[in-house]
């Protein structure tokens, strides 16, 4: 399922037009992105949590030359599925 398929499914379930549902999906994803950009997390009870993890800077090696490479610190978005989602997928 891609974003357009998701918008069509939301439109069918909620009685909206596809353009309205597309706006709702876009707004939802924008809100999640904005919250995570600020270092926060988004908790959707029963579905899961969107969190930001900080990855420290480290030294790696180039596999072709063996030369050391500095890998910069970065923030990594992660999703932790909730119990209800896990049960729904495994049933």
* Domains of the chain (ranges, CATH numbers): 1-38 (no CATH), 40-91 (4.10.520.10)
Tell me the C-alpha distance between 51 and 81, whole Å.
11
Contact 36, 77 (CB under 8 A): yes
Q: With the C-alpha atoms ordered 8, 13, 19, 24, is the resulting torsion angle positive or negative? A: negative
pLDDT at 39: 86
Angstrom distances, CA of residue 6 to CA of 1, 26, 33, 35? 7, 11, 18, 21
Q: Which two tokens stand for residue 8?
A: 């069509």
Q: Residue 70's beta-bridge partner residues?
A: 59
Q: What is the mean pLDDT of each run of 10 residues along the chain (91 residues)?
A: 95 94 96 92 94 94 94 94 94 87
Contact 71, 60 (CB under 8 A): yes
């Amino acid at each position: 399922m891609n974003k357009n398929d998701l918008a069509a499914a939301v439109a069918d379930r909620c009685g909206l037009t596809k353009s309205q549902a597309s706006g709702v999906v876009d707004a939802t994803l924008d809100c999640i992105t904005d919250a995570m950009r600020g270092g926060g997390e988004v908790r959707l009870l029963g579905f899961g949590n969107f969190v930001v993890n900080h990855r420290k800077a480290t030294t790696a090696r180039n596999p072709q030359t063996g030369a050391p490479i500095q890998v910069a610190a970065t923030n990594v978005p992660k999703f932790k599925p909730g119990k209800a989602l896990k049960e729904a997928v495994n049933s």
